[in-house]
Structure 1
């Protein structure tokens, strides 16, 4: 009989275990059928998570609204049962009876006893494991097999283990109870500084029954590419055969272009005979093909197409009967992590690079950190994953880092990254804690790593496996590297698994941040850094991002309120709490010391306002200005071969797991914040940047872009202008520099032609800031100039077509001292096309509409900076006849476009 896989996804029921009435969970299983009126409830979907089921059944309120999170804490301290019955699949006529069977549990959350037909089959304690349990096929019934899952409280188990092994440190008080380190469960569920405390449980990933006589149990198609300049693709196939292996004679391997039935390469090869187990046979290098001129390379987004191929492997019996067929998808690319000495020192010193080279091309990585996009993972659909990753790609980002306090995401996540050309940095699941290293724990982690490395290694998008998030950093802050027993995991177990199971090898990095053998996590000259001295840590001004970078900045960010409709969602009509310092606003902002930290940055940069919606907008503007400045200034430091001083910046964070005030650049409902669009412009293939600074002799203790003395009258300011070109070709452009005074009719414009070097930044101008002469009545005397009211804008223009390739506008700071004039906005709306002009400069013009009907509107651009004479056009896909609203810096409320 050919191998068959049956998904056990139907007729599941759940209930809370009643230990008061039943001594054993088995006593609660119905003996005949689940009768109406019983305490069992039919699962609304499968895979399943208990909170989601309770909400759908009306047993608990939505934990994401109001204070409801506190009303559902009891759920995480109870035991929960799931039950289903299943039959064996019908065999084709004439087929030989089943010889082997196994149950595959792709994900059980987390501490679970599994009973099959009343017998204990499996006990699990690792949410990240894939458990495969061989069955005695003769013990299965043709009809009426029962499967019972008993989920225990991970919270209570964690406390028991803590009592046994000792209390350790794990982040701060807003990063969950420290006992979490003892349980292999998604750490964010214990609470994080952006997430709620919701202790989930349930069969959150598929459960399958596999029946077979002989099958391919493991297939590894090793797509490789030789070093540049040849970049020759090749393919080797490893298979592992299980069952009645003596029946298997040959393997047929077929290579096809994905989505096509055209065979590119095909070969039938005999299976090598081997001594040993009669039920398991391994065959490495079944085929070894040179595919030069047969396949095309897979490229990250922005550098080429994402060519993907299907490898079909058929297991054949002696009479050529098909025993099993397995397919997998591959992409041919070469990835290297380059850490080599820099040619020249920068402001931090010399040090080494930390960069990624794909297919011989060194690339600047601009992207985001990813957390689980829902507290209840079963509520995430493939469509939702694709929408999130399409948002990232459409924002000109080319890398996503899967943070170590979440989960190894399902296959659809990585499949989508393969299709979109998004590179994946994958943390192993450890975050902000002193994890144990006793033998039982280490062995569980080893198997977890093996399961997930085997599952993920095929993906061309996967370019780095990383040992942990901030575990080295935290123990170094607390006392010393000797306080981290899990070094055994990060420095021995995980790299050994990665080296053994990946070929060609996937780069491994011990931790993030991590600076090398000295374990330093803050050295900007080596490894990667997390830049939290701004917002957290030393609470420095965001204008200092330029002096607080590193070779690769894998975390940084500033939080903001989400879109006002998201705030109103969690308020659920509670208007009394609709102000910045209400209890419900605190409930939905988990950042440590968030009020004080917001106050520092907001008060330094913006006027205090009592209007709540203006305050929400101002936090978004601050996030947008700060984060986009960081991308702009760090991308400038990608200066060419041997001078790749900063090779990447990954903002914390792309997304949210519930409606909340956080660092996310798009909120829980996929509503992009202004910062999303300013990042998009900074990471475009061509971008332009401006830095304004005061004369060196006038520097003081204020941030770099603040003006001295608070007088704002006589300022010797300079401007630096540069451009970035991530394409691999030089580009001739015209630079248009335009200066406009906010307080008068004065303006200035100058033009020049420049060549932008490929794959690096190019310096364009370094001049005194053009500005109007001051009035003699000011008391400053004639001939003095002032730049405190001048907006400086730069545009890159195609010299052949006249089309605008990139824009940036630098406004005087701090924003709180600016009195923006009426901009005289003029809109022209034709269908989904919206054009806008202004008579005076405009900062952060945000367009919005009611997107609740028919899905979200997709804006081609937003949060616009406008200057006179530069009309901008936005496409609002899906807007239909929706009302168009707008708001900009200095406006008191949203307005409707007539």
Structure 2
């Protein structure tokens, strides 16, 4: 018989365990039935999580609103039951087999089938296939019961057994979390709530078969450059009565069209290299030169995808099973080789990604789960998030180690969009145990997920953990990290054994240097938290605080004002920056102090709440875009790839909150999203201003201060970045304008941008107007503290603007922006803006309630006189109100 899959997604019921009955779970269910009690509630949908069910049933409020998070803490300390019944598919043969497949149970769960316990789980990241005795199943009525216990309480029991350890800080969850293989962010994080979920959060299926393909590994490989020859080998494992299987047919199809490119029938008896009848490696081995195209990350080529289909055949070519995987042909390598020359940090080695022989600067984001309740994330929501990332010129996403291994749709979408994936194993900010039982559990978890993910062309790196090395080194020493056994032995062994072509493995993030150093800027990757956190340095020091690959950095801000009003739920008394409800929705450690330091250094204090919200967003935008700009400058060509990537913390939120996210929970992009987009465009231009007076003091080199306003001026450095693989000649325009007068300066030149690196263009005194003098005895000084310096790259033939950047004098609190005399024209789905005076951070806004209807091609604009800009606003409807605000304005203007 052919394989049959019955997805158990209908007629599920749930209830809270009655803690007063003092009986077994089975006895409680029986008593419910005998007493004709009806405590069971029909599940809203399946897969399911208990908080979602309770909200739908009206038993708890939405924990994302107001202070409701505190009113639902009891949920995570109770036990919960799920129940369904199912019939067997018709047409069972005498030798047919059955299995129940559990793709995700969160987390501590006993599973009963027809009154017998068949499974106990303690790891939400594992796949659990359970063979069944077919004679114990009923044709029409099989009862499946799931008993979920409190992961929070189990963690405390394990902590009492093994000892209390350190795990992050007070705002990174209770340290007992390290003992339970559950998504760590559910215990609370510095951007997320404490919501201890449970439930069957991924599908459950009944699989019946005689023989089936239990594992298909399509090994899509590409030889080393310069040949880059694609090839395919296929490994097969068969479960069940393998003697019924006589052959396997392998077909390679072009994704989309379905065109068959290769086909081969392999008799099972001729699997000469198989270790046994039910396992064979290299069933086919095809050289595919000229038959397939390579898969490329976004910006470097097409995302060519193909489907490998394996059909297991019985006597007479009867189909027993069909399995398929979608693959792309690409070669990815992590290059760590000596640099040719030293930079400001020394020499050291590179930490860069090479795909199909091309070294690429990685610009991207860190990903956390996009919802506290994973079952609320739809395929459409995943695609919307990842499309936002791709459309922002980002080419890498890092899946952080305190969340989950995302479902297949996440990686499928990355394959389609050309987004490379840095995949952390699920360990974050803690001293995890390494006793044998825990290690074996982790080994099986790793095997399940490596097998599931290894065929995706988007997977570029598998990483052992997030910040575990860093934290123990801060606290004491490497001897305090027993889980080195996992990160240095178990995980690399699993990755090496199960991936071919091999996927690069990295022990931890950050990691590098001698003695497991995590702060060495010359080796490995670094997390840059001396700015905002740690030493709380000014953001203008990002230039001196980079590394070979910066896998975390960031500055938080308030979200969109509509998102704030959502969690306020009409409570206008709490609508001010330091209210209790604002603190409830800001989990960052010392957030008020750290916000105050950065805001006070750079912006004027305002009592207008909407303006304050905008200013925090502008601060985030200026800081983070500066980091991308200055670190991408350090991608200087072969042998001088001093910084090979920057991944901002973070892309997204799991609930409505003030955080580091560049787009908030409702997918509303903050200004920083657009400035990052410009900094990661194929061609960019940058300016760094150094104020002469400040070279010897302790303030950022960009700052003008008291007494420096009558300095001898500043120096500017101008450079451009070109991520394309061809050199390009462009026109550079340097445009300076004074904020206090009508003085301006224009300079044009033709420059050549080197391929796949940055190019230095100018290093000169900042053009500026002469200062006025009170009498003939006073010296005349050049005054650059009120000058905006802008650079623009344009095509030499068409004049099309390719890149812009405007450097404003800092700190912004000392700047008196003039009336911009702004003109904003709305023509269909296009917005045309121009100004007579410089404008910083022009942010266009609509009354689009969802935040997803209007797609802006650009936003958060800096305008210079005479440089008109056009923004496409796809989805902008005539009925929508269009407004804008900008730096220095304490109101929103309607167009």
Normalising by the residue count of structure 2, what TM-score does the alignment of the two structures yield?
Answer: 0.98
Cα distance change, pair 33–142 in 1 and its aligned pair in 2 (3 A): farther
8 Å Cα contact 2:32/2:38 also seen in 1: no
How far has the Cα of 1:108 moved from its partner?
A: 0.3
1:251/1:313 contact within 8 Å kept: yes
8 Å CA contact retained: 1:366, 1:683: yes
Q: Distance in 2 between matches of 1:158 and 1:489?
A: 20
**Paired residues of 1:835 and 1:874 also in contact (CA < 8 A):** yes
**2:522 maps to which residue?**
525
What residue is the counterpart of 1:768 in the other structure? 765
Q: How far off is 1:50 after superposition?
A: 0.3
The Cα shift of 1:38 comes to 1.2
User: 2 CA distance for matches of 1:55 and 1:625?
Assistant: 40
Over residues 665-710 of structure 1, what are the superposed CA-to-partner deviations in whole Å (9 max), with x where a residue is unaligned? 0000000000000000000000000000023884311111102444
Q: Render the CA deviation track for 1:458-514: whole Å, top value 9, x for unaligned.
A: 100001000000000000000000000000000000000000000010000000000
What CA deviation, in whole Å up to 9, does each residue of 1:731-753 have, x standing for no partner?
11000000000000000000000
Match for residue 512 of structure 1 among 505, 509, 527: 509
Asked whether the equivalents of residues 858 and 878 of structure 1 are also in contact (C-alpha less than 8 Å), the reply is: yes
**Does the CA-based 8 Å contact 1:194-1:589 persist in structure 2?**
yes
Give 1:733-752 correspondences, 5 Å limit. Answer: 733-752=730-749
Count of equivalent residues:
894
Cα distance change on mapping 1:33 and 1:98 into 2, 3 Å: farther
Task: Find the counterpart in structure 1 of residue 177 from structure 2.
Answer: 180
1:66 and 2:66 correspond? yes
Any idea what the Cα deviations from partners look like across 1:768-790, whole Å, max 9, x if unmatched?
00000111128993431010000
**Whole-angstrom CA distance in 1 between matches of 2:583 and 2:289:** 59
Residues 733, 756 of structure 1: 8 Å contact kept? yes
Task: Summarize the alignment of residues 3-402 of structure 1 with structure 2, pairs less than 5 Å apart.
Answer: 3-21=3-21, 23-29=23-29, 38-91=38-91, 96-97=93-94, 99-272=96-269, 281-402=278-399
Q: Partners of 1:607 and 1:520 in 2: how far apart?
A: 40
Q: How does 1:431-450 map to 2 (within 5 A)?
A: 431-450=428-447
Question: Which consecutive unaligned segments of at least 5 residues does structure 2 have?
Answer: none
| Counterpart Cα distance in 2 of 1:854 and 1:822 | 30
SS in 1 for 2:226: coil
CA distance in 1, matches of 2:742, 2:893: 26
Helix, strand or coil for the counterpart of 1:336?
strand
SS at match of 1:677: helix
Q: Report 1:435-474 matches (<5 A).
A: 435-474=432-471
Change (3 A) 1:652 1:139: same
Q: Indicate if the aligned counterparts of 2:327 and 2:455 stay in contact, CA closer than 8 A.
A: yes
Query: Is 1:801 aligned to residue 798 of structure 2?
Result: yes
2:697 matched residue in structure 1: 700
1:886 aligns with 2:879: no
Cα distance change on mapping 1:749 and 1:129 into 2, 3 Å: same
Q: For the Cα contact (< 8 Å) 1:98–1:211, is it kept in 2?
A: no
Deviation (angstroms), 1:31: 8.6
Alignment gaps of 5+ in structure 1? none
Three-state SS of the structure 1 residue aligned to 2:278 is strand
Q: Hey, what's the Cα distance between the residues in 2 that align with 1:438 and 1:136?
A: 33
Q: Which secondary structure does the structure 1 equivalent of 2:433 belong to?
A: coil
Q: Which moved more, 1:268-277 or 1:192-201?
A: 268-277
- Which has the higher mean CA deviation after the structures are superposed, 134-143 or 53-62? 134-143
- 2:771·2:783 contact (CA, 8 Å) conserved in 1? yes
Is the contact between residue 475 and residue 481 of structure 1 (CA under 8 Å) also seen in structure 2?
yes
The CA distance in 2 between the partners of 1:606 and 1:855, in whole Å, is 30
- Structure 1 position 501 matched with structure 2 position 471: no
Report SS of the residue matched to 1:173: coil
Query: Using the alignment, how far apart are the partners of 1:223 and 1:818 within structure 2?
Result: 57
Instruction: Give 2:483's aligned residue.
Output: 486
Cα 1:433–1:58 shift into 2, 3 Å: same
SS in 2 for 1:518: helix
Match of 1:863 among 860, 864, 869: 860
What secondary structure is seen at the aligned counterpart in 1 of 2:832? Answer: strand
SS at match of 2:598: helix
C-alpha change, 1:758 and 1:274, in structure 2 (3 Å) is: closer
Alpha-carbon distance, 1:29 to partner: 2.9
Pairwise CA RMSD: 1.7
Determine if contact 1:463/1:506 at 8 Å carries over to the other structure: yes
Q: 2:643 aligns with which of 642, 646, 654?
A: 646
Report Cα offsets for 1:228-247 as digits up to 9, x if no partner. Answer: 00000000000000111111
In the TM superposition, residue 79 of structure 1 has moved relative to its aligned partner by 0.1
- For residues 801 and 61 of structure 2, the distance between their equivalents in structure 1, rounded to whole angstroms, comes to 51
Q: What SS does the aligned partner of 1:337 have?
A: strand
CA distance in 1, matches of 2:97, 2:854: 52
Residues 34 and 40, structure 1, Cα contact 8 Å, conserved in 2: no
